[in-house]
Amino acid sequence: MNLEEMTMEQIWTEIDAELSTNKGPLAGMNASYSFDLAGEDGGMYGLKFADGEAETFRSDPGEVDCALMMSVTDFKKLLGGNLNSTAAFMMGKLKVKGNVGLALKLENLLKQYTF
């Protein structure tokens, strides 16, 4: 699967499928995220984890624990495990509002999936 060639709609459909198929890594994860993605095919997206379940949003999810702002390109790299969130944050490629620790938690969670 080539993330670079996929649309955001296809990517979020894939995220949905992965998170609902393999719920093991979600255990104990109770947090909500918004993704403000800039660039072609960008927009607002959201992810909420509660009670071992994940819910995705194709729009602004409202109040969240951690808001992430980055480019569509960097989001695809993050999903593919090719972007270190700490390094991206230091270089200004990733902006975080809210609980920064949750951004690191999300990166560790995503590493347990194959996108």
Angle, helix 100-110 to helix 72-79, in steps of 10 degrees = 60
Tell me, what's the pLDDT at 4?
87
Quote the mean pLDDT of the chain: 93
pLDDT at 1: 63
Instruction: For each of the domains in the chain, give its residue range(s) and CATH number, in order of start.
Output: 3-110 (3.30.1050.10)
* Number of alpha carbons in the 13 Å side-chain half-sphere of residue 49: 21
Pairwise CA distance, residues 36 & 22, whole Å: 25
Res. 111: pLDDT tops 90: no
Q: How many CA atoms lie within 13 A of 64 on its CB side?
A: 28
Q: In what order do the strands lie in the sheet with 31-38?
A: 53-57, 43-50, 31-38, 66-71, 95-98
State pLDDT tens for residues 42-82.
999 999 999 999 999 999 999 999 999 999 999 999 998 89
